[in-house]
Structure 1
């Protein structure tokens, strides 16, 4: 057997020290099953049980006295243990033998600890719910603000477009301007005479005309907002139009 194999074998035979209180409690439940338990209501422990454990595990290198002290503190503050601490309940030693009964003073102390523990848990849950509610409210507020900004966007405001689409739009705009100039020069196409709507009388479902590129388009009012109205053209297109572009249907 090589030196390395010998060292590995020695390491394997060395006792593995327990890493945390949870592991120590599981170890105690395995060594002293009539005293410690991992499920159900725990039995009240004998007064001075720590010293009994220290003596019983004196040569056990898997757990130290400090670990035992921390593990016992965690075990006796657990809700399972506090629930079992009632007046007259029998205390047990490492072998599960009865070692006196729980007195009123100790039962009251356990009940107070249990109440405080439950209150802390309830407070943490309330804080988590409040934080989640505030986060959702902030998210809703941000979405509402974005929607309000979108609904208040001026009619005809320029939008970012693909270069090819922008070129086509520019060409179409130039053509429209040319046609408009021809109309102005041609007396056979008189300008459209329209009567502006009265904003205070504007209602949802009202028939109006929308002036687009010197042309009046018939539309239906879908919603009246602060500075504009959302309408639907006869072609089915829906858009937001500033009040000054809306006219009465003659």
Structure 2
């Protein structure tokens, strides 16, 4: 037992469960609804294997059952299964309704994040003075200098006032964030921000652990972040 490798993330635990119980868990594709109370069955069957603890099993099960592919599988007529793939009863209507609501809320959060990212890109482009497809002005030829008879020509003042001389400087919008003070108040799938210096990056909660919170950035990268680096 001491020589067994340790699984460090919930994704690794899910991959292990899919290999250990292929008729119950799946690593990809639509997931089958799980038996109510399956956590206790897992504890009895695999606690200690691969140095797994109850906390790891609970976190992995929470991540698995909150994933989009699992929520897609919670539909009318679907049958719950135990660890060996045996049928354990049809889904209740209230469970189907709750899963549909969770799925719609998760989709709405993703759409809101994408819209926010697009708005930030447009603001950054405007602040930098970028204008797409702006026509280039053609320079007009300078008129000839008119000379007076019997005198010297006076130089023309060709200096133009600065285009932006009278314009007020663009105000820089400061974003105010609220620090995360209680990790227990967070939920899987919740949107928040990760502070990195003076910047704050959008992220989604994947898992709450004793060491911090595992989040996924909009770039697809996931990491564990301590509470002091999390804000709303």
State the match for 1:80 in structure 2: 69
* 1:63 to partner: Cα distance: 1.1
Contact 2:7 2:50 in 1 (8 A): no
1:32 and 2:4 aligned: no
* 1:105 matched to 2:94: yes
Go from structure 1 to structure 2 and tell me whether the alpha carbon gap of 1:17 and 1:95 turns closer, same or farther (over 3 Å shift).
same
* C-alpha RMSD of matched pairs (Å): 3.1
Partner of 1:209: 144
Provide the rounded CA distance (Å) in 1 between the counterparts of 2:13 and 2:141. Answer: 78
**1:43 and 2:24 equivalent?**
no
Q: Which residue of 2 aligns with 1:54?
A: 43
Aligned equivalent of 1:95 = 84
Q: Hey, what's the Cα distance between the residues in 2 that align with 1:120 and 1:130?
A: 15
SS in structure 2 of the partner of residue 94 of structure 1 = coil
CA distance in 1, matches of 2:51, 2:20: 12
* Separation (CA, whole Å) in 2 of partners of 1:206 and 1:132: 38
Q: Equivalent residue for 1:241?
A: 158
Q: TM-score if structure 1 supplies the norm length? A: 0.54
Separation in 1 of the partners of 2:140 and 2:75? 73
Tell me the number of residue pairs that the alignment of Structure 1 and Structure 2 aligns.
150
Render the CA deviation track for 1:163-203: whole Å, top value 9, x for unaligned: xxxxxxxxxxxxxxxxxxxxxxxxxxxxxxxxxxxxxxxxx
CA distance 1:209–1:61, shift in 2 (3 Å): closer
Gaps of 5+ in 2: 132-138, 161-232
Q: Which has the higher helix share?
A: 1
Contact 1:79–1:114 (CA under 8 A) maintained in structure 2: yes
Residue 38 (structure 1) shift: 1.3
TM-fit CA distance, 1:59:
3.6
- Describe the superposition over 1:222-243 as per-residue Cα deviations: whole angstroms up to 9, x where unpaired: xxxxxx9xxxxxxxxxxx9249
Q: Quick check: which has more Rg, 1 or 2?
A: 1
Q: What does 1:171-250 correspond to in 2, within 5 Å? A: 208-210=143-145, 241-242=158-159
Unaligned runs of 5+ in 1: 1-9, 143-203, 218-227, 229-239, 244-250
Contact (CA 8 Å) 1:209, 1:216: kept in 2 or not?
A: no
The 1:208/1:50 distance shift into structure 2, 3 A limit, reads same
CA distance, structure 2, for counterparts of residue 216 and residue 135 of structure 1: 46
Give the structure-2-normalised TM-score. 0.58
TM-superposed CA distance for 1:58, in Å, is 2.9
